[in-house]
Structure 1
Amino acid sequence: MNKLFPTRQSAKQLKKLMTLISLNLHQPCTLASSPISTPSYFLNLRHSSQTSIKMSSTTTTIDGIHASTAELEPIFKEKKILRSKVKKSLREMTPSQRSHEDDVIQRLVLDAPWLKSSKRLCAYISCRPLREVDTSKILAEILQSSDKDSGDKLAEKKLYVPRVEDKKCHMRMLNITGMDDLIANSMDILEPAGIDSHGNEREDVMQTTQPVDLMILPGLAFDKSGRRLGRGGGYYDTFLSNYQQLANEKNWKQPLLVALSYSVQILEDEAIPITPNDVDIDALVSPAGIIPLTSAALHRMEHGI
């Protein structure tokens, strides 16, 4: 890669190091109260490194720097407070505002060249009670594209969606071919059954022989430096880390990580505190537009791929 465009991985590691060294330097977080005015090609490049990360229940090690769970506790507390603030902002959105932003965001995604060119992708199934950005139209068009006779403008695609296996951050992405493949789990969230209607195990994205081009991600909050705040379960960060490791082992191109966000979910630069297992995103899609955050995202958006 051109040295002017560092990889996403290094700055993530650098930020983790700085977090562990300076836990008390985080600035207060402010929620965005209206759609952001950031230009659609806002860029925040990151620098490359070869930082190694090892984690246990009591100690985290990053290039020889140790951080105990107790040392990370202030970050966990900050995240908890921030989650409460964002949830409050989401509750205050009117139904008409949410519906409008859902439509704008989904149209931006469906019109994006990087979606049209993707052949294998992962996407979340939106849950209304969780106030996630709606993905129903996106999923419908992707699934329709699998029908070669449909005349759809999207290239034929293979779609993988999440299935939570346990309470220990274990989530799989399984292939579906239609919305009828989904069932409600114990929390009334739609997910694929592990076995299809023919009694066969569904294809797991971690066991495929071809790389994924794109991952469409949910989240509770995001900032303009590419940080993502989840709901505290660690399912997506664990899955993303595992997939990125798999892609590295197989010398695959890393997928583009694109998050969907309501306007009230976008925070200022580095407003979200981080821990060593957090995975940054490449781009944000909000009602204000598409915001590339890495050189990979900028390249794909500039070249329409």
Structure 2
Amino acid sequence: MIGARVFCIPTATLERSSSSSIFFFFPKISTRPVSRVSTTVAMSTTSKSQEELDSIFKQKRVVRTTVRKSLKAMNPSLRTQQDDAIQNTVLEAPWFKSCRRLCAYISCKSLNEVDTSRILSKILQHPGTTTTAASMTNVADKKLYVPWVEDKKSNMRMLHISHMDDLIANSMNILEPALVDALGNEREDVLQADEPIDLFILPGLAFDRCGRRLGRGGGYYDTFLKRYEDRAKAKGWSNPLMVALSYSPQILEDGGIPVTPNDVMIDALVTPSGVVPITPPAIERM
């Protein structure tokens, strides 16, 4: 199961920026996972009472408020440096170069998300636009699916695009794929595709080195990833690699992110200081 692959990396070194009051967590990469009991979110299988869930949701709101303030306080030049470092790491990674079908988010500046514009542009390069045969091999022939929010009930689809021009701004000024292509054909939905996804590049508001991910509260990614998991299981497909991109202030101490049974875990983090593999599949591939 996508959400069941949870292993914990030893506690990271805590560094403090000399130019701000924000604490930055720079993970030390470990090659030896520490196993722990896990279900969808490494919690007890006992059903949570409504009172317990309400308490967890309250804790999540507190963490979201704290992390949002930290992100808002980031120095713009530091943000740019971290964007460049994270995207360079992804673009140069063998696990990215070798993937052929992937889902990735379209970064939104107003949400303070890690920039993905260079990653998407590289994926959508076409023959004749790359400078060398080697660079073309690294990024060509990738099939990309990006999010389209269907409604306000946590329903989201991932639709195939071939060009950056396939994206349009929605009512919140967030880029999404148009539902039909230039020829009027409906875009392929990844949940109807005949081949499995190799890689998910995920956003989030906060993460830890045990694979916990805190979203923005809408539940869109957790809902979608569970649907993809069900389809992959029905088709007998292998699980995709679940990789999240994170600025330094978004990385919290282990156990600092409250979780519910519906929260989906990640396999690895890409941070400004490098890749942090978490699960055995990630350690094996990264």
TM-score interval w.r.t. the shorter chain? 0.7 to 0.9
Q: Which structure 1 segments of 5+ residues have no match? A: 1-6, 16-29, 54-61
Matches within 5 A, 1:16-35: 33-35=22-24
Is this contact kept in 2: 1:221–1:267, CA < 8 A?
Answer: yes
Is this contact kept in 2: 1:44–1:225, CA < 8 A?
Answer: no
Label 1:48 to 1:214 Cα distance change in 2 as closer, same or farther (>3 A). Answer: farther
Q: Which residue number in structure 2 is paired with residue 147 of structure 1?
A: 127
Label 1:134 to 1:10 Cα distance change in 2 as closer, same or farther (>3 A). Answer: closer
Matched, 1:200 2:185: yes
Q: CA RMSD in A?
A: 2.5
Separation in 2, partners of 1:191, 1:79? 27
Read off the aligned partner of 1:176 and give its amino acid letter: I
Q: Which structure 2 segments of 5+ residues have no match? A: 9-13, 17-21
Label 1:126 to 1:52 Cα distance change in 2 as closer, same or farther (>3 A). Answer: closer
Read off the aligned partner of 1:288 and give its amino acid letter: S
Is this contact kept in 1: 2:5–2:279, CA < 8 A?
Answer: no
Q: Aligned-pair distance for 1:153?
A: 3.5
Label 1:281 to 1:10 Cα distance change in 2 as closer, same or farther (>3 A). Answer: closer
Q: Aligned-pair distance for 1:36?
A: 3.2
Q: Aligned-pair distance for 1:10?
A: 4.1
Separation in 2, partners of 1:282, 1:52? 13
Is this contact kept in 2: 1:237–1:279, CA < 8 A?
Answer: yes
Read off the aligned partner of 2:162 and give its amino acid letter: T
Choose which of 40, 44, 49 in structure 2 pairs with 1:68.
Answer: 49
Is this contact kept in 2: 1:164–1:171, CA < 8 A?
Answer: yes
Q: Which residue number in structure 2 is paired with residue 19 of structure 1?
A: none
Is this contact kept in 1: 2:40–2:265, CA < 8 A?
Answer: no
Runs of 4+ in 1 over 2 A off after TM superposition: 7-12, 30-49, 65-71, 146-151
Choose which of 222, 233, 256 in structure 1 pairs with 2:241.
Answer: 256
Is this contact kept in 2: 1:169–1:233, CA < 8 A?
Answer: yes
Residue 267 of structure 1 aligns to a residue whose secondary structure is coil
For 1:201-238, what per-residue CA distance to the aligned partner results, in whole angstroms no more than 9, with x for missing partners? 10000000100000000000001111000000000000
Is this contact kept in 1: 2:205–2:215, CA < 8 A?
Answer: yes
Is this contact kept in 1: 2:106–2:116, CA < 8 A?
Answer: yes
Matches within 5 A, 1:55-134: 65-134=46-115
For 1:247-297, what per-residue CA distance to the aligned partner results, in whole angstroms no more than 9, with x for missing partners? 111110110000000000000111101001000000000011100000010
* TM-score, normalised by the number of residues in structure 1: 0.82
Label 1:48 to 1:117 Cα distance change in 2 as closer, same or farther (>3 A). Answer: farther
Q: Which residue number in structure 2 is paired with residue 286 of structure 1?
A: 271
Q: Which residue number in structure 2 is paired with residue 247 of structure 1?
A: 232
Label 1:148 to 1:296 Cα distance change in 2 as closer, same or farther (>3 A). Answer: farther
Is this contact kept in 1: 2:204–2:213, CA < 8 A?
Answer: yes
Q: Aligned-pair distance for 1:52?
A: 8.8
Matched, 1:38 2:27: yes
Choose which of 186, 198, 202 in structure 2 pairs with 1:217.
Answer: 202
Label 1:255 to 1:101 Cα distance change in 2 as closer, same or farther (>3 A). Answer: same
Separation in 2, partners of 1:296, 1:47? 16
Report how many residues are paired: 269
